[in-house]
Amino acid sequence: MKTFVITAVLAFSMLSVTPSSAKETLAEATKGKFLMGVAVNMPQVNGFDPIQTEQIATEFSAIVPENCMKPGPIHPEENRFNWEDADKVVAFAEKNKQVVTGHCLIWHSQLPRWFFVDSTGADVSPEVLKERMRQHIHAVVGRYKGRIKGWDVVNEAFEDNGSYRNSKFFRILGKDFIKYAFQFAHEADPNAELYYNDYNVETPSKCDGIVKMVKELKEAGCRIDAVGSQSHMHMDSPSVEAIETSIKKLRDAGVQVLITEWDISILPSAYSGANISTQVGYAEKMDPYRAGVPDSVQQKWNKRVLDVFSIYVKYSDVVDRVTVWGLNDNGTWLNNFPIRGRMDYPVLFDRKNNRKSVVDEMIRLAKKGTK
Ligand code: XIL
């Protein structure tokens, strides 16, 4: 009896999910236009749910680890590295013939405390910080030399108004910390692509700040291949026009554009940035779809996905990769950001592992070339 129930449940759950192998995939449809990527977590890489692992392997041509390569997880103490998870991610990608992005080398968040302080707890000197950056970047980039296509070298160094973020890196080293990071990464793997990554790149003042930095890096002789636009979006913002303008500005600055962390929150917006230390208190009215998304709202979200995706397709000569920040609605970080405990629906697979219907339309759109 027990075996029968288990078999029946398994058969039912498999029936409710169309195997991705039976359908055309996003990876196939976008081939020759851009890489189609997804951020992966360790349970998925470890195969805790074979369906998700299979979806990641077949539906996407690129992956990026959601957390395990960040300075905090990978380099928790000055003389200790955790390579295990990052090694598994790279091996997973190689097994499935996927491109891997390293995310991320220098960032003010998810940074281990030791990085900025000496043994008395005081801030380190500019020389010591620069040397720690060098050692960190050489160790991490060096370990995966030749196996990672490109690195998010610096993440989120700007404020929305285009000024430099007043991070510890900036306070101790000034804006040159960015240049040093790019130099060290290039020394460690001369063939790796190097990226600057940020959120709200569509905000004109921020985009202008980034463009200026790109030009300065190039003038200083640094390699910079692309700017990553995180693209954590809402239902109404940024506008399609703002997205398009930012892509053009970056293209004109002589870099490729990567869409690195795409998601579109369906929920009322409490904050328009992605600085992960921001937390807003829970309120029921900010969490309206616990029992499901009404059809009219779902249609609006689908249209938003296609409006934005059609821009990526239109600019596929300069957009090299479109990466979704998470496989399914169950695992998305937006269930806990910027408000903890909500139910969001921002990515391409639902809570039951079904590929959303909008993906069929994305595939059509990618193959046709325009909307
Ligand atoms: C997020 C992860 O998705 C979460 O799991 C983690 O708790 C916090 O960081 N910008 C980035 C990403 O560059 O690394 C962040 O990822 C989201 C915002």
Cα–Cα distance between 308 and 359 in angstroms, integer?
Answer: 13
Please tell me the predicted confidence (pLDDT) of residue 12.
43
Among 248, 167, 152, 166, CA closest to 201: 248
Say if CB 193 and CB 105 are below 8 A apart.
no
**How confident is the model over 312-339, as pLDDT tens digits?**
999 999 999 999 999 999 999 999 999 9
pLDDT at 22: 64
The candidate with the shortest Cα–Cα distance to 74, out of 121, 115, 129, is 115
Low-confidence ranges of the chain (pLDDT < 50): 1-18, 20-21, 371
- Annotation says 202 is catalytic: no
Q: What is the model's pTM?
A: 0.94
- 174 three-class SS: coil
Nearest Cα neighbor of 265 from 335, 352, 357, 350 is 335
Catalytic residue, candidates 59, 156, 193, 202: 156
Identify the pLDDT of residue 23.
86
148-186, pLDDT tens digit by residue? Answer: 999 999 999 999 999 999 999 999 999 999 999 999 999
| Predicted local distance difference test score (pLDDT) of residue 13 | 45
Q: What does the alpha-carbon distance between residue 59 and residue 72 come to, in Å, rounded to a whole number?
A: 30
Residues contacting ligand 1 via CB (< 6 Å): 66-67, 155, 230, 261, 274, 276, 333
CA 51 to chain centre: 22
Which residue has a Cα nearest atom 16 of ligand 1? 66
